[in-house]
Amino acid sequence: MSWVDTRLRFIAELNPSVRADLLVDLDREVSFLPMEAVGEDGSLDLSRSRAVGDVRNGFSYFEDGDVTIAKVTPCFENGKGALMRGLTDGAGFGTTELTVLRPRAGVSARFLRFFLSSAVFKADAVGAMTGAGGLKRVPDWFVRDYKVRWPKMAEQERIANFLDEQTTRIDALIADKERLVERLEDYRSLAIRQEVLGQTSRERNLVSGPASEPWIDMLPLHWGCPKVKYVFQTTSGSTPSTDKRELYYGGEIPWIRSLDLPNGLVARAEVFITEAALKDTACKLLPVDTILLAMYGGDGTIGKSGLLGMESACNQALCAILPNSAVNPRFLHWYMVFRRPYWMVGADGTRKDPNISQEVVREARVPMPPIQEQAEIADRLDVAIGQLDGLCRHVDEHIDRLREYRSSLISAAVSGQLDISTEREFPDGCR
């Protein structure tokens, strides 16, 4: 095997100039790629185009056959980048957060693309990032001067062909398993819906529900459906001032935030507060079996819920529905999981992030089967959903192993550490 030591600047030209014929016809349409049009799997969304005159300044330029990689975090770490193909008029402009590499003579663009997506290159590039926080970038000088061992063109093509074939098969298997997870999640939602709405009963209510609760007419005739405010007490919490961190934080009382909600049993906390925080602030100690509902959150937590498995306090982003002996807390928990999409109907959208008010929670209705039936429903769901979640975790573990194998396969192949003629199809546990 003949591999030579070199640097990437001798392999590819970085950020090449705009094609001359495009600059004399500024009305010509070419492809336009914002960052969201570049996939983490190397895919491209080529549905956008712009006139050259509108984008020739202030954007990255590329042509068919160029290889691009995102330079900014977290897009770089996530693998955003592509081999450019199918561009309008063979050219395009896009986000300045792309580094463009044009393969020189004797360089396979496909092999270069695989090399730039390898774990070794990415790890070194992350270590060289400059900037602060979420604005860190891979500097161009790092890419230009990066030391590589590079094979001859025939070997590049042979390795690229092998990786094309193997990664296509791995990606197809991953996609199959991801579809299986989606089907399991759909079945999970259906199972919860059927149980908490009593859809195994043949007798139905004939009263149509409002837009926020269209499921009311699906309930069995012998079930009640009162508003939350007629059955439960609700409250909220607060955030103790960080100006008194030593006084209020680091105690033994769990303090729950919306991001701590697992849509299941809340059995652990990341933050703990003191007795002084309970005494001096609006924080309250909530009993076991309280339901917590996220009323707002720009991180996608709105509508998530959790069943407290320990005495805890919570912050002001959560609505606490205190337990009532007439309602099985596990049944109420499963109902809250089912109801999450419907909370958004009554959410206040006037703010940047929508929020669910305490009043919306109090006006919501709750299916109310007899207490024994509630317990039976909760028991069935505990078992069924536990089994489904276990199966989903098992499939997710297979997906993770396939992704790890894909990454290690690419890295080994492009670094010359792998004899591709002896490589097995898939490792054990990945099928």
Q: Mark whether 145 and 231 lie in a shared domain.
A: no
Q: Mark whether 142 and 282 lie in a shared domain.
A: no
Tens digits of pLDDT across the chain (431 residues): 589 999 999 999 999 999 999 999 999 999 999 999 999 989 999 999 999 999 999 999 999 999 999 999 999 999 999 999 999 999 999 999 999 999 999 999 999 999 999 999 999 999 999 998 678 999 999 999 999 999 999 999 999 999 999 999 999 999 999 999 999 999 999 999 999 999 865 454 444 455 567 788 888 988 999 999 999 999 999 999 988 989 999 999 999 998 888 878 898 999 999 999 999 999 999 999 999 999 986 667 888 999 999 999 999 999 999 999 999 999 999 999 999 888 877 666 656 667 888 999 999 999 999 999 999 999 999 999 999 999 999 999 999 999 999 999 999 999 999 887 665 555 555 55
pTM, full prediction: 0.80
Helices (H), 100-256: 109-116, 119-128, 140-145, 153-196, 228-231, 245-248
Q: Mark whether 271 and 144 lie in a shared domain.
A: no
Total count of residues recorded for the chain:
431
In this structure, is residue 385 part of a structural domain? no
Q: Mark whether 142 and 263 lie in a shared domain.
A: no
> What is the DSSP code (8-state) at residue 88?
G
Q: Mark whether 247 and 346 lie in a shared domain.
A: yes
In this structure, is residue 277 part of a structural domain? yes
Q: Mark whether 20 and 114 lie in a shared domain.
A: yes
Q: Mark whether 143 and 260 lie in a shared domain.
A: no
The distance of Cα 250 from the centroid of its chain, to the nearest Å, equals: 31
Q: Mark whether 233 and 145 lie in a shared domain.
A: no
Tokens describing residue 298? 């720009």
Distances (CA, A) of 408 to 271, 371, 423: 37, 54, 12
Q: Mark whether 127 and 245 lie in a shared domain.
A: no
Q: Mark whether 104 and 237 lie in a shared domain.
A: no
In this structure, is residue 137 part of a structural domain? yes
> What is the DSSP code (8-state) at residue 256?
E
Distance CA 225, CA 219 (A): 8
Distance CA 341, CA 262 (A): 16
The DSSP annotation for 14-80 comes to ESPPPPHHHHT-TT-EEEEE-GGGB-TTS-B----EEEHHHHSSSSEEEETT-EEEE-BTTTTTTT-
The distance of Cα 198 from the centroid of its chain, to the nearest Å, equals: 32
Among candidate residues 103, 72, 150, the one with its CA nearest the CA of residue 416: 150
Domain containing 342 equals: 226-366
In total, how many domains does the chain have?
A: 2
Domain boundary (333, 349, 366) is at: 366
The pLDDT value recorded for residue 205 is 47
Q: Write the CATH number for 338.
A: 3.90.220.20
111, HSE (Cβ side, Cα atoms, 13 Å): 28
> What is the DSSP code (8-state) at residue 270?
S
Distance CA 223, CA 105 (A): 76
Domain boundary (151, 185, 208) is at: 151
Q: What residue type is 257 in one-letter code?
A: R
Distance CA 410, CA 113 (A): 10
In this structure, is residue 42 part of a structural domain? yes
In this structure, is residue 210 part of a structural domain? no
Q: Mark whether 16 and 138 lie in a shared domain.
A: yes
Domain boundary (315, 333, 366) is at: 366
The pLDDT value recorded for residue 183 is 97
In this structure, is residue 290 part of a structural domain? yes
Q: Mark whether 141 and 251 lie in a shared domain.
A: no
In this structure, is residue 373 part of a structural domain? no
In this structure, is residue 232 part of a structural domain? yes
CB 99 within 8 A of CB 143: yes
